[in-house]
Each structure stands twice: as C-alpha cells, then as structure tokens.
Amino acid sequence: MKRFLLPLICLFVWFLAPEPASADMTCSFTGSQPFSFGNVDFGLYSDSGQDGSMTVKCDDFVIFGFLNAFNSPNRICVSLNEGTGGGEAGWRYLTDTTNNNKVKFQLYTDKTRIESYKPDIAFGKDVAIDWGVLTVLSPVTGTANYPIYAWLPKQQNVPEGEYSTRITAHFKYMRKDGANPVGCNFGGKSSSATFNVRVKVASRCSLDVTQHIDFGSWQDLNEPRDQEGKVAVTCDKGTSYKLYLGWGAQGDAGTTRYMANGDEKISYNLFLDKQRSNLWDGVFGGEKPSGGGDGNKRTFPIYARVPKQKTPSPGTYTDNVIVTLDYD
C-alpha cells in the first residue's frame, strides 16, 4: 500500500501547490539601430518606408510552470514619444541643426502603416512574454520584438541639410498574475530606451527656358534690333544658385556672340538689364544673376540685341546658347 501512496501524494502536491514568491522580474530594452532614410532628393522622391524594431529581454525565476498555467508571463507595453523634433497634426518631425526647418515622418506599429505609435503609455502597444512549456525551479529569460515601421512622405520646399530626431521609448512591465491587464493601464515597473531617426535632404533646383529668342525677319541691319527671352528657376528653400549663359557655338568668350549661316555670321549679345549695358557672362567670371531659393519659380529676362552691322546674305541665322544653373 505504501508503494502506491507516494505517487498519489506527489500528484496532489503537483496540482495544489500555490505559486511561491520569486525574485523580482527585470526587463531590459534595446532601441532599434538608427533609422536612416539616406540621401533624399524630394524633387525625384516617392514616399518611402524603413523597417526596424525594439527588443525586450526579461529575466525571472520560476518555481514551477507548465504550459504557462503556474508561471507568470510578462506583460509589457511600449509607447514612443514625439521625439526631440516634436510633432503635430499626426506627424513627428525631424529637424536640422537650427531647429527652424522640419521634415515630417511617422512611426507605425503595423506594416500597413495605419496605426502609429502613441506618446501616451496608456495607449501603448502591448505584448506578453511566456517562459516556455515546462519550467521547474529555474531562472528564465524571454525576449520579444516590437516592430517599428517608419514612413517618410514626399514633401515640398525643404531646405538642404541633415535632419534628425531622438525618439524615447517608454516601457511598463509586470507579471501577468492571472488575467491579462486590459490595455496598458496597469502598474508595474518602468524603463526606457532611445534611438535616432535621420535623413539627409539634397538641394533641388529646376531650370526651364520659357521663351526662346527670335529676332524675326529683317531686310537689313542698319540699326540695332532688340528682343527678349526668359528662363525660369525653381529652387528649394535656402538653396543658393547662380545662372550662366554660354557664349554660343561661334562666340568669342567675354566679348561677342554670333549667329551663323554657313560661313557668314551676325553678331549679337545677351544682357542682364533692359538698357543692355551689363553683359550676361558665361561660366567663368563676369556678371551673372544669383539668388536663394524659396520653393517658388523665379523668372529671369534675357535682353538680347543685334547691333548695327553690315547686312549679310539672306538666310536663317541661328545659335545655340547653353543655360547653366549652378546651385548648392
């Protein structure tokens, strides 16, 4: 009879022993490697995402556990603050060194990028870490990952430069102790981790010849003939630029431009001012318009003149002038 009593007593101990107190559970958190959207030219850019994660590691000591019936899985919640760049209207911000210029972005809990991480821990994203199938008088370690899906939308009028923010992740964690807490409104311990988000915005300009120069048809060149052209420049905010006009296919750099028809030529020139006193120079030295971008189109007139000269043979005289926009 005694041989059968011992297993029966053990069986009762197995199912009736309460969960003894154990050492305090501890958790550590590792922030994601810096999110970097790389070098971005918003003029050529489409919306883009980057994926990362945060890792949580928890240590505890379990007296006895079987299929999580007697042990206490950890319950963990995480929230992400707005970051050092701040945020508003559903966006977080990356800022440059002046803190005056911003690039908007967002961090999401799901790959579809619908639900963003909230700054308030009460609305954080929660997970549970279980210790395994069978644990007896053993220290245990569990890990879990919080995915982070970053999103950088296309945006306009962003000055060139490096933009960044430092995000702080706030954590709350506790033993499950029976029923799961509802949401993240529970007590427990707190911890934090940080990570950076970065992007480098390239300067962006566009150039468009909006009006070519056509002197029309004339019987002679016994007096000056004037005409105008136009070029338009659009540069991102804060982008400095200079605009150059080349000397054409037949020109003498620094002095005169020529239109040609075979071996015959007609001299002409291009000027910065309506009075046609300031020559529009080429790339090397001389006069040239310059400015700083503000994201809006700026139109520059080109004042052209064919001076009085000997009338050549009838025909069509042409020249091609290269317009160069230098910006940084």
Enter the pTM of the model. Answer: 0.65
Handedness of CA 273, 276, 278, 283 (dihedral sign): positive
Contact 184/123 with Cβ under 8 angstroms? yes
Q: Tell me, what's the pLDDT at 63? A: 62
Helices and strands per DSSP (H, E), number in the chain? 1, 19
Specify the 3-state DSSP secondary structure of 94.
strand
- Longest CA pairwise span in the chain (Å): 136
Could you tell me the two tokens for 322? Answer: 């290269």
pLDDT in tens, 214-256: 999 999 999 999 999 999 998 887 788 888 898 998 877 778 9
Q: How far apart are CA 129 and CA 75, in angstroms?
A: 7
User: What pLDDT is attached to residue 86?
Assistant: 95
List, for residues 108-139, the tens digit of each pLDDT value. Answer: 999 999 999 999 888 888 877 766 655 566 67
Point out the residues of the chain with pLDDT beneath 50: 1-22, 67, 70-71, 284-286
Rounded CA gap, 294 and 242, in Å? 14
Q: What are the structural domains of the chain?
A: 22-201 (2.60.40.10), 205-327 (2.60.40.1090)
Q: How far is Cα 18 from Cα 147, in angstroms, rounded to an integer?
A: 36
153/164 Cα distance (integer angstroms): 15
User: 73: which 2 tokens?
Assistant: 């899985």
Q: In what order do the strands lie in the sheet with 240-245?
A: 290-292, 240-245, 323-327
DSSP designation for 121: G
Quote the pLDDT of residue 270: 94
- Nearest CA to 188 out of 234, 124, 143 is that of 124
DSSP 144-209: EEEEEEEEE---SSPPSEEEEEEEEEEEEEEE--SSPPSTT---SEEEEEEEEEEEEEPP-EEEEE
